[in-house]
Amino acid sequence: MFDLIRKTLLTGVGLAALTAEKVEELAKELKEKGKLTEKESRKLADDLLKKSEEARKDLQGQVEKVVKDVLGKLDIPSRADLKKLEKKINSLKRRGGEKAKTNADS
């Protein structure tokens, strides 16, 4: 019975959206209805929280990959590209300032 309930919850609930509060509430409700023992209720809550966190991390990784792919296809420069460009501009500014100073001294 416990496994069936757990599997149903994992597939029936948006796992990545589960919060600790909702998991605790659900486990408590099942325990009060006599569907689970205290030990099973605690195990269910722990399992769901762990799976929820894993699903959240997986979803975040997938979203980041899709965004990166889309930005690459749109030929939008990355933050690293902009930082390199900023360094190059600052370097050129310094060199330009040094040349202007040298010409003024002559």
Digit-coded pLDDT (tens) for 52-72:
778 777 777 877 888 878 877
Task: Say if residue 37 is in the same domain as residue 89.
Answer: no
Structural domain containing residue 30? 2-75
- Least confident interval from 23-32, 69-78, 97-106: 97-106
Task: Say if residue 59 is in the same domain as residue 84.
Answer: no
Task: Say if residue 35 is in the same domain as residue 60.
Answer: yes
User: How far out from the chain centre does Cα 10 lie?
Assistant: 20
pLDDT at residue 91 greater than cutoff 80:
yes
CB 28 within 8 A of CB 42: no
Task: Say if residue 45 is in the same domain as residue 87.
Answer: no
Domain count, the chain: 2
Q: How confident is the model at residue 20 (pLDDT cuts 50, 70, 90)?
A: confident
